[in-house]
A and B are shown apart, each in its own frame.
Chain A
Amino acid sequence: MRAADASSIAAGARVGMSAAKARILVQGLVVRDHDAAADAQGLDRLALWALRRYAPIVAADSPDGLVIDSTGADHLLGGEEAMLAGLIDRLSSSGVRARAAIADSWGAAHALARYAGRPALIAPLGHGGSVLTGLPLAALRLPADMVAALHVLGFERIGDLLAQPRAPLTLRFGPQLGRRIDQALGILSEPIEPIRPDELIEVKRNFAEPIGAAETIARHIGELVVQLCAGLEAEGLGAKRLDLICHRVDDRVQAVRVGVAMPVRDVKRLTRLLTDKIDTIEPGFGIETLSLAATLAEPLAEKQTLTAMVDDGAPDVSDLVDTLVNRVGERSLYRAAPVATETPERSVRRIPPMAPDTGATWQGRWPRPSRLLPSPEPIETMAALPDHPPVAFTWRGVRRRVRRADGPERIRGEWWRSDAELTAVRDYFRVEDDAGERYWIFRSGDGEDPNSGSQRWFLHGVFG
């Protein structure tokens, strides 16, 4: 048996059992022949999906994993943590249970993802052997018989091996053991051969002399973009995601990924996006091959540009948005859109910057503060219950006398969210102190019924 689903494992079947034994243990077991080729194909399909969505260098780590070089690509997805969480979420929503880890080397990430026992793990930068010591030997990607032989000698964990002198081990087990250890520690580089779909539009350039200067790289990027755009034009496509892969003379690979919101085939714009990223490339001893691929391409219809007879007014800012997204990340660029709710902190949702105009705005005529505190801050007050504003309040250690006030504006809890909000009430007041500073404060509760809230006062915003 190569694999079993959760219900059959619960009934006692185990991976590695013979099929006959499993049939006895589990009533009504459905047995299918193992199809290694179909498995490999499925894994490749998953790798292609990850290539389009996550990073320029992706490969299948057979039999059961993917390896992704996320260097220089996580910025588009809001950093490593957000990328990892998003990856696992997306996989689980399509029915794949996955575990993932980010580490400095392929070997360490492979080991941590499979044996660390956590669904998502990010090893600290420059971790070395420290994160690996507690893991079993199988995590090192060694042949099964070698692991068994090491067990016989009393080695259980990777830490046991790291503590041993290397020479006797190499003498007994050959060079593979030492190589796998060095690969996991990141001492020995292990290039990932990235998966390339057949229909990918890719242009390459080899150099007789390795290049390294930023200006030289920029010039060659410019020439590659021209070629790539010609290729895209022949297919009637526009690029949504571009990957620049630099092969260095020391067999390391550097990748740069840029993304745009709408398909683009404009040489100037794409060159600009790529050259903005040159300072993230470390040429080391020199780059011998540059390859540029349009990993994600979509049909781009030719549009006839009108002459100046009709001026459509709104200038196009999509190129600016693309430049900024590649600088600060996709999540940091947004527009606000109204949400139909009374609760202030829920009333704004973020939409993509280039989403079509909604024309909607917030309803209600009550003034809103220009600064809303991330969370309401408790204040000490003197107030006459039930529906008068406080006479004075103390916020952040400063006592303020209320000279004028407006309110209350009653906001009710959203009963469909939770039972606790069924009776919850907030009474908002706009208050002005002696100096003319205006604040938005509220009482949690209606001032009478203890079920409606704690009756304590909070400051929620600052008016201009």
Chain B
Amino acid sequence: MRHEPAIESLRAQIEKIEGRARRVKSVLPFGIADIDARLPGGGLPLGALHEIAGGGNGAVDGAAAALFAAGIATRTKGKVLWVITRSDLFAPALAQAGLPPDRVIYVEAGNDKTVLACVEEGLRHGGLGAVVGEVARLDMTASRRLQLCAEGSGSIGLALRRWRRQSEAVDFGQPTAAATRWRVSVLPSAALPIPGVGRHRWLLELIRVRAGESADFEVEACDGSGRLAVPAELAHGPASKEGRRSGVAG
């Protein structure tokens, strides 16, 4: 991002007009220069709501999106509240993404309305690192409430959008008050010199970000500490293809 004094002072004025003395915003960097540069502040803002959905079949199963959310939650401090409607989340996979079972409190809510109420409660409390809610419908009013709660307490809110049918996923285009909006789709894994499945890869689409531009990234899935990585051949260009990593990680 360019820093121009005129724009900076305009920003300050706008914030003054909005009337909210914003707290000093801290961010959660991804540790990948490409992604962090696209996010104002150099990372995912804490104390904000973020929307995550899966692409393709992921809109229904939300498998990659859940791991992406787990990776973010892992890197926060404190317990994590995970509100679900369908009980197909497999805790050992979260542990492999760096989120040990002791840190996660699961809430099984019957419907979307209860999910939103529980997420709101969790965000308002302030003692949690992250609150993840698996919802299908999220409208402007509901997301605004969650965003305000998150701003007040400093916890990070992750709305994991997940639908019953793939056709319902068009709902993801509706405007919400979330600070960022991501879509995670699976890509073929890293090629290995031997038969087998390499480190999982995702296409990470930053569809919307407040005060920033959208972008696409190709990344390697979360490692054991919830961190993404840049595929080696993309990071260093085609010249370093021979030096490609051959290690396998979940």
Nearest CB in chain B to that of A436: its residue? B188
Nearest CB in chain A to that of B249: its residue? A367
Among B87-95, B170-178, B230-238, the one that faces the other chain is: B87-95
Please indicate the chain A residues that have their CB under 8 angstroms from the CB of B122 in the complex. Answer: 320, 324
Smallest CB separation, B110 vs chain A (Å): 8
Q: Is B126 an interface residue (CB 8 A)?
A: yes
Q: Is B189 an interface residue (CB 8 A)?
A: yes
Extra contacts besides A317-B127, A335-B101, A372-B90 (10): CB < 8 Å: A314-B78, A315-B127, A320-B81, A320-B127, A332-B108, A347-B92, A369-B93, A430-B197, A463-B63, A464-B64
Please indicate the chain B residues that have their CB under 8 angstroms from the CB of A464 in the complex. Answer: 63-68, 93, 184, 186, 200, 202, 221
Decide if B186 touches A369 in the complex (CB within 8 Å): no
Interface size on B, residues (CB 8 A): 58
Nearest CB in chain A to that of B67: its residue? A464
User: Which 10 residue pairs across A and B have the least CB separation, nearest first?
Assistant: A315-B127, A367-B250, A464-B64, A464-B67, A336-B91, A436-B188, A372-B90, A370-B93, A332-B108, A464-B63
The B contact surface, by secondary structure, is mixed
Decide if A371 touches B90 in the complex (CB within 8 Å): yes
Decide if A336 touches B250 in the complex (CB within 8 Å): no
| Complex-state Cα separation, A314 to B76, whole angstroms | 12
Give per-residue flags for B64-84: 1 if the beta carbon is below 8 A from chain A beta carbons, else 0: 111110100000001101000
Among B13-21, B113-121, B138-146, B208-216, the one that faces the other chain is: B113-121
Contact of A317 among B92, B128, B196, B197 (CB under 8 A): B128
Q: Is B109 an interface residue (CB 8 A)?
A: yes
| Complex-state Cα separation, A368 to B63, whole angstroms | 11
Smallest CB separation, B84 vs chain A (Å): 10
Known pairs A320-B122, A336-B101, A362-B95; A406 contacts B127 (CB<8 A): no
Decide if B189 touches A321 in the complex (CB within 8 Å): no
- The B201-250 residues at the A interface (CB cut-off 8 A) are 201-202, 221, 250
Please indicate the chain B residues that have their CB under 8 angstroms from the CB of A405 in the complex. Answer: 195-197
A-B contact pairs, 24 of them (CB 8 A): A317-B79, A320-B121, A321-B105, A324-B118, A328-B109, A333-B106, A336-B101, A338-B101, A347-B92, A361-B100, A362-B91, A362-B92, A370-B67, A370-B70, A370-B93, A371-B90, A374-B87, A404-B198, A405-B196, A405-B197, A438-B200, A461-B90, A464-B184, A464-B221
Decide if B127 touches A348 in the complex (CB within 8 Å): no
Decide if B96 touches A336 in the complex (CB within 8 Å): no
Give per-residue flags for A285-320: 1 if the beta carbon is below 8 A from chain B beta carbons, else 0: 000000000000000000000000000001111011
| Complex-state Cα separation, A331 to B200, whole angstroms | 35
Smallest CB separation, B225 vs chain A (Å): 13
Q: Report the contact-size class of chain A (Cβ under 8 Å from the partner).
A: 35 or more
Residues of B within 8 A of A (CB): 56-57, 61-68, 70, 78-79, 81, 87-97, 100-102, 104-110, 114, 117-118, 121-122, 125-128, 184, 186-189, 195-198, 200-202, 221, 250
Decide if B96 touches A404 in the complex (CB within 8 Å): no
Nearest CB in chain B to that of A345: its residue? B90
Decide if B107 touches A438 in the complex (CB within 8 Å): no
Smallest CB separation, B250 vs chain A (Å): 4
Smallest CB separation, A368 vs chain B (Å): 4
